[in-house]
Structure 1
Amino acid sequence: MAVLSEYNYVFAIGTLFALLDAYNNGANDVANSWATSVSSRSVTYQQAMVLGAVFEMLGAITVGARTASTIKNKIIPLDAFQDNAGVQMLAFTCALAGASMWVMWCTRHSAHVSSSYSLISAVAGVGVATAGAAQVEWGWNGGQGLGAIFAGLGLAPLISGGFAATIFMLIKLIVHLRKNPMPWAVYTSPFFFLVAGTICTLSVVYKGSPNLGLNKKPAWYIASVTLGVGGGLFVLSAIFFVPWLYAKTIKKDHTIRFWHLPLGPMLWRRPAPAEVHEHANVPDYAVIQKDHDDDSTHSSEVGVKVGGNVTKVGVQATPEKSSHDRSLAEAEAATPQMSYKERVAEAQARFHAKLRKKRGPLGWAMRMLHNNPLAPGEIYELKNIKIILKRIPAMITVAALYGVNYDIHAAQTGIHGTPEGRRMERVYSHATKYPNEVEHTYSYIQVITACTASFAHGANDIGNAVGPWAVIYSAWKTGDAAKSSAEVPIWQLAVLSATLSVGLITYGYNIMKVMGNKITYHSPSRGSSMEMGAAITVLLFSQYKLPVSTSMCITGATVGVGLCNGTWRAVNWQRVGLLGFSWLMTIPVAGTLAGCIMGVVLNAPHFLS
């Protein structure tokens, strides 16, 4: 086995950028896919971190791709490297560098982009620098060229929005628009478990298990498996979930717990508690622009329609007239206030003050950083060097734990008193708020769809990061340029899936805080519709071998469901426009970055023969 020892540094740098790309994938793509569930309050932020990490790693390690394409989507011809392993290693190292730098910058500024599209664009840029623009596949190329990427940018969000809107309108017609929606929500829940189970099984078959080859089985086999899983969920939910949900939401039994589910039909005869409460013991799914731990005056209400009337949640409401009749500029001029940056700094200071009161490592680290600021003078002065040495352990602790403790819901609703805060109040005011007992039914369906999406993402999309790394490793290890595919060792899948999970846990909050409720109002029935609509779109595109981003699909589905409120004002179009702009900029920016790095390094003067 030959080893290109003279390229050890290229292999080391390529490994570093492969890990960085996986980290960015977790912080950007995976965080975006879980933002819907967190925004809907079907799971807490911490639960999303755990479930996302577990199912991503499970999908990658158990059924992840064991082979990876050396030329991502056939954008660069194989002969571009002229069987030179060193050039091939350098090309994929530069592609990873360009893609990871762009995604990292976008994540830092809370702009969601697709890691997959970034890498594909970077590979195209490297192809231009290596073989020339004429050798890059700019057309359709059977759905694997850059033309197909542009098509996916426009079509996927639109199609996803259509599917998600259809599912949510079905829920509205069957449940929400009824005079007494609660029994309809309980008794129709097995049907939606059937739909979710079938869609999720198809997602695993066609997108999430290339190693098992389930998509190559006969049609009758695939139909039997998918309908069997969906039907199984239907039967189990009808036997066990329906009576449990009936006792909890209709009987308002505050004593029932999750572990009572196995009792199933016996729960029909369970007597109602002597003390009957007005509302069932379920979470409050309302979006509230109020920090419960903050007693300051900088709080607000969020207007939400209940049965056609606008009601307020929270305290100190902005007058309805300023939210609807007056423009944002007029409202801002009528009420003198702090600047946007001052509001952001104030909100962050309050949040950090709460963290400093916590017990444990994070509270200690925040107090250490707060109590030990750098002294006046240059950073290299002895007093500042001593302070830095004291701060380093605290900085590492904060980097590891800050994201897990971030207040996503407070960040998503916007800061009261700012243009963004008032904009979100107006968006929420156009959304009908349905009873918490009804919404609670769909929170369980949404957890199933979210976990399946993470499993499929870990199994399939991990190849976007591991593919270039596997090529670099193969070329370095054997001394030969990798051919059409390269074997992916299991340890590489394990390392990158773990890195992806670390990215989700430590930095995913930067994407989650701008997704979900900063686009439109969320709730479990809306969120489950969004995730099922996105899953159907991914399946449809996969059947025609068209590249598609799961994150773009969920964004389109979010807009589609938001429009089901009956007005375009229920969607924050400014945020949607910024997301669309970041998607479009991904292709030229990532491609130019990678191409320039490749061109400079490949043509740099060298003095050794």
Structure 2
Amino acid sequence: MVMSQFDYVFAIGTCFALLDAYNNGANDVANSWATSVSSRSISYRWAMLCALVFEFLGAVTVGARTASTIKDGIIPLTAFHGNAGVQMLAFTCALAGASSWVMFCSKNSVHVSSSYSLISAIAGVGVAVVGADQVQWGWNGGKGLGAIFAGLGMAPVISGGFGAIIFMMIKLGVHIRKSPVKWAIYTSPFFFFVAATVCTLSVVYKGSPNLGLSDKPVWYILTVTFACGGGVGALAAIFFVPFLWVRVVRKDAAVRFYMLPMGPLLLKRPVPVESEVPTVPDYAVIQKEDLLFDDDSTASPKLHDQGDAPGVLSKQPVVDEKNASIDSEGTQKSYKELQAEARKRFHARLYQRRGPLGWAMRFLRDNPMHDGEFYELKNLKTAVIRLPALLTVALLYGVNYDIHSAQTGIAGTPEGRRMERVYAQAEKYSNEVEHTYSFVQILTACTASFAHGANDIGNSVGPWAVIYATWKTGVAVDKKATVPVWQLAVLALTLCAGLATYGYNIMKVMGNKITYHSPSRGCSMELGAAITVLIFSQYHLPTSTSMCITGATVGVGLCNGKIRAVNWQRVGLLLTGWIFTIPIAGTLAGCLMGLVINAPHF
């Protein structure tokens, strides 16, 4: 079977669509779950499982609507004048430019918006193919670049407002009251109700066009939405409140999560004898651990308690003005040397694992590459032998990464001291209260993940839908081209794979790198971001989930009442990355399209 030019372009376009979805998962999805992992409400492994479920559901049931904006809202499909080949090539180059930029940024732990990367790339391709006058620079009924880029300023502010309002409700209604633990338990069904209502509203009101749910009357939408939210809130009151009361107030360490279905029967358990075993985890941002990872996949020096500030960074080792550490023997060590030593300690722990990752790490250690060039025969043989171990490490390294510890920085370095100052500006609340909101945060994180799947799946599936429809029919598609559900499903799975295997690289620089995190703060951030994303998605505006969660994080951080409670250096770096994404991604895609379409051909 001879492949035509259409077949080649379709194959390449499909690869870049999958790569773009993978990068989206490693970048934006990782950012969405960084808040939950930073607050210690959920482990990285459970976060990946929840993300897989809810990203998939959000993409399949809701994602088709935002795909239409990426597909035909920036470059009018009529501008191609029915040239199917040029249309396929244009969207393929857009995916190539956007995915290349996001991959470069993810590799260097620079967080950018995959949404705006693709939007900018499509605009750049449009300039190269049909001219700047054909690109929809204005509002274009809410689908043009003017409307989309307006979200660059609006989304973080709106999300920050929502997050601040929700956290202030918790702060005024729970944290500063005389009995915060009891009030946290009493009000927890309300937050379950809010999170469930937001998620249900997105499914019913914005449901997949094939379901026809958005055509229902308003009374039907409101009834179903509040009924589902009220049902979840009622279940929380019946089963979750008794569980929390026994575990937190009575301090019954024997109560486990699987006992939740017992509900009120748990209240009949005999009051336990006081035990030294803690019934709730310690949610302090910095824990007392033997080995903590630094900002470069490594481990940092030990942390110690200091006076009445438990868990703050140790003053040792000391760093002088030239960013060098002085060890116990008086030898100066640079920041890079500290990172290298910490990386060795981290890998030493992995060598001791019994599972596949431990085997792979030991195999790579015991079978290093030989001296000389890579193409020498002995190195080629070694590379082939090392390949299975390399693949194993690529798949499992991120699953075993300690995200929480990586966000604190190396003790004593400028970064570590900066984060210590930021954390000192935030008021710390009791672990019993925070434990209550750790369960709520898991639900809000799932809601945020659902919202992300609904909104950001359009980044990859929009161009891919055009490429697929053009390849299948042989003619340029019009505005009525639909997005197959199987495409949404495939890219949703690819998106989750990006989170599982490479998301740690972005997650380690988010969350606690911006401000102090805790479960009560985290659920406010995630719920505020989820509401904002769903509102923008309803109006067909592919906003950036990373911008929303960042804005909500800053908004909640400012609720501490101190401007220094936010790491403005990190916020400035994020803002710089967002701004530079627009010209760089657009130029990459535009130049690539210009080179390909004007290349000599026979």
Cross-structure match for 2:296: none
Q: For 1:208 and 1:31, how far apart are their aligned partners in 2? A: 25
Change (3 A) 1:279 1:152: farther
**Contact conserved, 2:303 with 2:314, CA < 8 A, in 1?**
yes
- TM-score if structure 1 supplies the norm length? 0.91
Range that drifts further, 337-346 or 235-244: 337-346
Bigger shift: residues 492-501 or 89-98 = 492-501
Q: CA 1:379–1:334 in 2, change beyond 3 Å: closer, same or farther?
A: closer
| Aligned twin of 1:139 | 138
Contact 1:4 1:476 in 2 (8 A): no
**1:16-50 CA-partner distances (Å, limit 9, x unpaired):** 10110111111111111111111111110110011
Q: What is the aligned partner in structure 1 of residue 6 from structure 2? A: 7
Which residue, out of 282, 298, 301, partners 1:298? 301
**Deviation, structure 1 residue 520:** 0.8
Does residue 370 in structure 1 map to residue 377 in structure 2? no
Distance 1:539 1:58 in 2: 14
Tell me which moved more, 77-86 or 338-347.
338-347
Percent sequence identity over aligned pairs:
70
- Per the alignment, in what secondary structure is the counterpart of residue 309 of structure 2? strand
User: Which residue among 271, 274, 277 is the counterpart of 2:275?
Assistant: 277
Closer/same/farther in 2, CA of residues 511 and 294 from structure 1, 3 Å limit: closer
User: Paired residue for 1:436, among 406, 421, 431?
Assistant: 431
Which residue is 1:325 aligned to?
none
Q: Secondary structure at the match of 2:401?
A: coil
1:302 CA drift (Å): 7.7
Between stretches 221-230 and 508-517, larger displacement belongs to 221-230
Which residue does 1:152 correspond to in 2? 151
| In structure 2, C-alpha distance between the alignment counterparts of 1:524 and 1:86, rounded to whole Å | 51
* Contact 1:70-1:486 within 8 A present in 2 as well: no
Task: Kindly state the Cα deviation for residue 604 of structure 1 after the two structures are TM-superposed.
Answer: 0.9
Whether the 8 Å contact between 2:451 and 2:530 is mirrored in structure 1 is no
Aligned partner of 2:407 among 388, 408, 412 = 412
SS of corresponding position for 2:517: coil
CA distance in 2 between counterparts of 1:224 and 1:294 reads 49
> Given the alignment, which residue of 472, 484, 488 partners 2:483?
488
Distance 1:211 1:382, change over 3 A: same
- State whether structure 2 residue 446 is matched by structure 1 residue 451: yes
CA-to-partner distance for each residue in 1:268-327, whole Å, 9 max, x for gaps?
Answer: 232211x21367512211111654347999223588xxxxx95131674469xx9xxxxx
Separation in 1, partners of 2:531, 2:483:
29
In structure 1, the residue matched to 2:562 is 567
Residue 185 of structure 2 is matched in structure 1 by: 186
Aligned counterparts of 1:534 and 1:208: Cα–Cα separation in 2: 19
Q: Counterpart in 2 of 1:356?
A: 351
Deviation of the 1:93 alpha carbon: 0.4
Distance in 2 separating the partners of 1:501 and 1:333: 40
Superposition deviation, residue 196 in structure 1: 2.1
User: What amino acid maps onto 2:397 in structure 1?
Assistant: Y
- In 1, distance between residues paired with 2:305 and 2:155? 32
Q: 1:181 to 1:451 in 2, by over 3 A?
A: same
Alpha-carbon offset, residue 208 of structure 1: 6.0
Q: 1:388 aligns with which of 383, 397, 406?
A: 383
Separation of aligned partners in 2, 1:302 and 1:426: 16
Partner of 1:286: 284
Please report the RMSD computed on the Cα atoms of aligned residues, expressed in angstroms.
2.6
User: Tell me, what secondary structure is at the counterpart of 2:148?
Assistant: helix
Give the corresponding residue for 1:519.
514
- Report the Cα offset of residue 184 of structure 1: 1.1
User: What aligned pairs does 1:584-603 form with structure 2 within 5 A after superposition?
Assistant: 584-603=579-598
Q: Which amino acid aligns with 1:442?
A: Y
- Number of the residue aligned with 1:345: 340
Structure 1 Cα separation of the partners of residues 533 and 60 of structure 2: 22
CA distance in 2, matches of 1:442, 1:208: 29
Give SS of 1:224's match: helix
3-state DSSP of counterpart to 1:12: helix
The match for 2:546 among 545, 551, 561 is 551
Secondary structure of the 1:420 match is helix
1:531 is aligned, of 515, 526, 529, to 526
Secondary structure at 2:333 match in 1: coil
* Equivalent residues in 2 for 1:43-442, closer than 5 Å: 43-61=42-60, 64-65=63-64, 68-69=67-68, 72=71, 74-207=73-206, 209-273=208-272, 275-277=273-275, 280-288=278-286, 291-293=289-291, 298-301=301-304, 311-313=309-311, 316-317=314-315, 337-442=332-437
Q: Verify the 8 A CA contact 2:113 2:578 in the aligned structure 1.
A: yes
Instruction: Give 3-state SS (helix, strand or coil) of 1:313's partner.
Output: coil
2 CA distance for matches of 1:228 and 1:137? 41
Unaligned regions of 5+ residues in structure 1, if any? 304-308, 323-327
Equivalent residue of 2:64, what SS?
A: coil
Question: Do the aligned partners of 2:455 and 2:542 also contact (CA within 8 Å) in 1?
Answer: no
Separation in 1, partners of 2:326, 2:424: 20
Task: Give the deviation of 1:505 after TM superposition.
Answer: 0.5
Counterpart check, 1:478 vs 2:465: no
Q: Report if aligned partners of 1:125, 1:594 keep a CA contact under 8 Å in 2.
A: yes
Q: Give, in whole Å, the separation in 2 of the partners of 1:180 and 1:400.
A: 46
> Partner of 2:400: helix, strand, or coil?
coil
Give, in angstroms, the shift of residue 570 of structure 1.
Answer: 1.2
Query: How big is the shift at 1:241?
Result: 1.1
Q: CA–CA distance in 1 between the matches of 2:568 and 2:123?
A: 31
Larger CA deviation: 484-493 vs 163-172: 484-493
Amino acid at match of 1:579: L
Normalised by the length of structure 2, the TM-score is 0.92
Q: CA deviation at 1:200?
A: 2.5
Displacement of 1:365 after TM fit?
Answer: 0.9
Question: For residues 207 and 384 of structure 1, what CA distance do their matches in structure 2 show?
Answer: 55
C-alpha distance in 2 between matches for 1:485 and 1:465: 18
Deviations 1:165-202 (A, max 9, x none): 11111111111112331111111212222222222222
Deviation of the 1:451 alpha carbon: 1.4
Aligned to 1:306: none
Give deviations 1:70-94, integer Å, cap 9, x for gaps: 8635211223211011001100100
